[in-house]
Amino acid sequence: MSSSEYITCFYCSEYSRIANDYPINFASKDVDSFTPRCFLHWEYECGKCGEMTHFNGISWCSSCKEFTCLRCVEEKMEKKEFLIYDYFYKIPCHSCGKYSPALDFAEYEGTHPFQIGDLIPEEETVVWMPIHLEELKFQTFPHKAWGLKRILSLGKYVEFKRLDSLGDYDPKSTWDALAPFWEPLFHDGGDYHHKYKILPEVYRLLDVMKDEKVLDVACGEGNVARNLTKQGAQVIGVDISKLVDYAIEREKEEKLGIKYLKLNAEKLASKFTEASFDKAICNMALMDIENYKTTIEQISYVLKEDGIFVFSITHPAFAWPTCTSFRVPKGSQRNEDKLRLVLDYFDERPTLIDYGNDTPSLQFPRTISSYLNELVKNDLILMEMCEPQASEELVNKFPRNAYMDDDIYPDFLIIKTIKKSEF
């Protein structure tokens, strides 16, 4: 017996967890991969194009005795939970046009050509005969994973929950609860991401000059405000959460001349006159603000003509909750086992993200175009965009954070704009 005969088929093994009577065949195909397969769950030759196609993308017409792959025709999708899936393709025969399900669903309903005797497997294969379909409808996958969740179940990833309405959650109460966790991280200038990737680019783009008036929107515990003040700027910081209380206490000790206000970023005009600041900064907060449109409008209002506005956010395309990272297997600490998966870039519902704290973070995901279009509406013209990439120096110094991670995709997006009322 060859070594490949001791390797079980990936699909047979998964299906057997749903259907107790499902036979597990030995793999003879792709045996060196993560998903070794038996002959039944391999590829089939399309009768029109002659291409070999994965069994979940090709159908069998019992009338014409022909396979048709979905590359040669216009397939349809049907939503239905079966085995480990939540949909299947219906593919028309290239000869007669009759629709038949792809072979994954055909096997489930008992119409696979091997099940009905139209064809005989070329290799020794035990074919499942689904005689208890009614019972299968009431069985669940061991971890209740369907579709995309089936893939996520292979590894460990950050938990999140989309919200159709905020309910009992709001940004202020969420950040009030998170304040004791975040404040210590900025005693020495911030965590790895802020200190080495975000803030160096933020300060470069803002490029403050001596005595410039700068508004730090959603200033938190004051890390950015302190740094800008030390560069010679006159800074006012505003924040709605308890984090600003830490900033106020530290200012009493250091006496840098920073003025802090507990103020909603959506109500800047209630405290400041029009065109009263040379520059404005909103560091890693705009994605946490519920009404970003009003906030951008208010920032434009308090900026002078030719004033600069710089903001940084989690990257709309590559960060949670649009995109998640997960490790396969779950406990691996090697970076090549950390994968990225885009979930839904266009879903802008509020999202609770569990980073492992007692209180989840509340974010408001948006597309890049949502931000850019709102900036343009408020006379804030794009000057530069930055997606910080880990340098070779950072890879060598912080390999766990940077190698095959921050050096190959961006977690953050930083945008610099200039106010132009006429352009």
- Residue whose pair of structure tokens reads 């700068």 in the numeric block: 214
304 shares a domain with 183: yes
Residue 45's H or E segment, with its range, is: strand 43-45
What pLDDT is attached to residue 156?
66
What pLDDT is attached to residue 423?
62
Note whether residue 156 is domain-resident: no
Question: For residue range 352-362, what is the model confidence (pLDDT) as tens digits?
Answer: 988 777 788 89
286 shares a domain with 247: yes
140 shares a domain with 169: no
pLDDT for residue 302 is more than 70: yes
Q: Which of 78, 112, 146 is the last residue of a domain?
A: 146
CATH number, position 415: 3.40.50.150
Confidence of residue 3 (pLDDT cuts 50, 70, 90): very low
% of the chain with per-residue pLDDT over 90: 74
Note whether residue 116 is domain-resident: yes
Note whether residue 154 is domain-resident: no
The C-alpha atoms of residue 326 and residue 148 are separated, in whole angstroms, by: 13
How many structural domains compose the chain? Answer: 2
Q: At what angle do helices 223-230 and 199-206 cross, to 10 degrees?
A: 50
The C-alpha atoms of residue 267 and residue 298 are separated, in whole angstroms, by: 7
pLDDT for residue 2 is more than 60: no
For the chain, give the number of residues: 423
Note whether residue 217 is domain-resident: yes
What is the extent of the structural domain holding 60?
3-146
pLDDT for residue 329 is more than 80: no
336 shares a domain with 362: yes
170 shares a domain with 136: no
- Residue whose pair of structure tokens reads 């669903």 in the numeric block: 105
The pair of three-digit structure tokens given for residue 108, joined into one six-digit string: 């489930």
125 shares a domain with 209: no
Note whether residue 152 is domain-resident: no
142 shares a domain with 199: no
192 shares a domain with 142: no
% of the chain with per-residue pLDDT over 70: 95
Q: Which of 303, 242, 248, 310 is nearest to 278 (CA)?
A: 303
Q: Following CA atoms 209, 212, 215, 221 in sequence, which dihedral angle do they give, to the nearest 10 degrees?
A: 60
Q: Which amino acid is at 365?
A: P
How far, in whole angstroms, is CA 257 from its chain's centroid?
A: 40
Task: Kindly report the average pLDDT of the chain as a whole number.
Answer: 92
165 shares a domain with 142: no
140 shares a domain with 170: no
Question: For residue range 136-154, what is the model confidence (pLDDT) as tens digits?
Answer: 666 665 555 566 777 777 7
* Residue 343 φ then ψ, to 5°: -95, -60
86 shares a domain with 215: no
Q: If you ran DSSP here, which 8-state letter would residue 200 be given? A: H
Question: For residue range 339-387, what is the model confidence (pLDDT) as tens digits?
Answer: 888 889 999 999 998 877 778 889 999 999 999 999 999 999 999 999 9
The C-alpha atoms of residue 340 and residue 319 are separated, in whole angstroms, by: 9
Note whether residue 136 is domain-resident: yes
What pLDDT is attached to residue 1?
41
The C-alpha atoms of residue 142 and residue 126 are separated, in whole angstroms, by: 24
* Residue 238 φ then ψ, to 5°: -125, 145
First vs last C-alpha separation in the chain: 76
What pLDDT is attached to residue 152?
77
